[in-house]
Amino acid sequence: MKIKDIITILNARLLTPQADLEQEVHTACGSDMMSDVLAYVKDQSALITGLTNPQVVRTAEMMDMICIVFVRGKHADDTIVNLATQRNIAVLQTPYSMFTACGMLYEHGLRGGGEKQ
Amino acid sequence: MSFLPLHFTVSGYDFTCAGEASSKVKNKLKQLGYDSEAIRRAAIAMYEGEINMVIHGGGGEIFVEVYPDHIDIKMADKGPGIENIEQAMQEGYSTAPANVRALGFGAGMGLPNIKKYTDSLRIESEIGKGTTIYMTVQVNHS
């Protein structure tokens, strides 16, 4: 699935206009707990979260994630958007809740990864 | 063996800036052409350490030494120290206050994550004096 597909599926607004929407997203992770996100390593991943602070972008950066989706129409301030833009991370805002957003992406074939064995 | 030394000072009060040092190290390692897996492991471990420094340590100093085959990271704070290191290493054990949890950290995953992503980890801590952690990430050359 590409970032542009996520935008369509989640009826999302793109907050980082320069982002490359053709990038392929292989897996996704839904969490408000950044340490849990950091425990999970996958390439080309999207982070779905209700948490809006700059550490969300830092976490995505350390994990080489390419897309952040803020759920429930949460507002991301300029600090977040600028930080993400500098790091070529696409930031999206969807009106759906975390559960619904994750379910919709799953239904369209996107999967998690890094589950504890 | 020659190495590239990097030094950073971490503010103990500015949560917004936490991660800046890790970000700089990550970019430097990318420029130097290191293996992306090693870069990610070093960046995540250092980032968790940086967050710990801000949450618990009141800031501190980071010294990074980049060698061709490994990366050494030393993180030293003058915080309250860790009472029981074994307990602190357990997943889920946390002494972080509620305001830190609201920011997405303090779930008791910081030190376990550092251990998970590094090849060696040593913690020296003295109550009332501070904590210093030494970590090494090996670089696999393909």
Q: What is the pLDDT of residues B101-123, one digit of tens each?
A: 888 998 899 999 999 999 999 99
A15's tokens: 């907050």
Kindly provide the ipTM of the predicted complex, given to two decimals.
Answer: 0.90
Per the structure, the complete domain to which residue A52 belongs is given by 3-107
Task: Give yes or no for residue A2 having a pLDDT over 80.
Answer: yes
Residue B128 confidence (pLDDT): 94
Tally C-beta pairs within 8 A across A and B: 70
Q: Do B16 and A54 contact (CB within 8 A), yes or no? A: yes
Report if residue A68 sits inside a domain. Answer: yes
> What is the nearest CA distance from B113 to chain A, expressed in angstroms?
6
Question: Strand (E) positions, B1-142?
Answer: 4-11, 59-66, 70-77, 120-126, 130-138
Report if residue A113 sits inside a domain. Answer: no
- Report the mean per-residue pLDDT for chain A: 94
Which of the residues A58, A65, A78, A81 would you substitute to probe the B interface, choosing the one with the greatest number of B C-beta atoms within 10 Å?
A58
What's B75's domain CATH number? 3.30.565.10
Minimum Cα–Cα distance from A58: chain B residue: B19
Report if residue A55 sits inside a domain. Answer: yes
Which is more confidently placed, A80 or A115?
A80
What's A53's domain CATH number? 3.40.1390.20
A21-51 burial string, b = 16+ CB within 10 Å, else e? eeeebebbbbbbbbbbbbbbbbeebbbbbbb
- Report the mean per-residue pLDDT for chain B: 93
Task: Give yes or no for residue A40 having a pLDDT over 90.
Answer: no
Q: What is the pLDDT of residues B64-79, one digit of tens each?
A: 999 999 999 999 999 9
Minimum Cα–Cα distance from A32: chain B residue: B104
Report if residue A112 sits inside a domain. Answer: no
Domains: count for chain B: 1
Report if residue A44 sits inside a domain. Answer: yes
